[in-house]
Amino acid sequence: MILNNNEIILKEILPGKSFFFNMTEKLRTAFSIFYLAIGIFFIMSLSSTFGLFSIIGIGIFCNALYITFFRWILKYRRLKKNYYVITNQRIAIVEKANGKILKYKELNEIDQVNAEMNSKYFGNIIFGEPESMFGKDDENFSFFRRRGVNFAEDKYAFISVENINEIIPLFNDLGLNVNKTFY
**Mean pLDDT (the chain, rounded):** 82
Q: pLDDT tens-digit profile of 56-93?
A: 778 888 888 888 888 888 888 888 899 999 999 999 99
Cα–Cα distance measured from residue 64 to residue 118, given in angstroms and rounded to the nearest whole number: 28
Whole-angstrom distance, CA of residue 54 vs CA of residue 86: 49
Other CB atoms closer than 10 Å to residue 171's CB: what's the count?
22
* Residues 126 and 160 sit within 8 Å (Cβ to Cβ): no
Tell me which DSSP letter residue 132 carries.
P
Cα(43)–Cα(21) distance, rounded to whole angstroms? Answer: 30
The amino acid present at 131, given as its one-letter code, is: E
Q: Are 164 and 178 in contact (CB under 8 A)?
A: no
Alpha carbons 86 and 84: distance in angstroms, whole number: 7
Band of pLDDT at residue 34, cut at 50, 70 and 90: confident
pLDDT in tens, 4-15: 888 899 999 999
Largest CA distance in the chain: 67
Instruction: Tell me the CA end-to-end span of the chain in Å, nearest whole number.
Output: 34
Is a pLDDT exceeding 90 seen at residue 113? Answer: yes
- DSSP 8-state assignment for residue 48: S
Q: Are 28 and 133 in contact (CB under 8 A)?
A: yes
In the chain, where the domains are located: 9-182
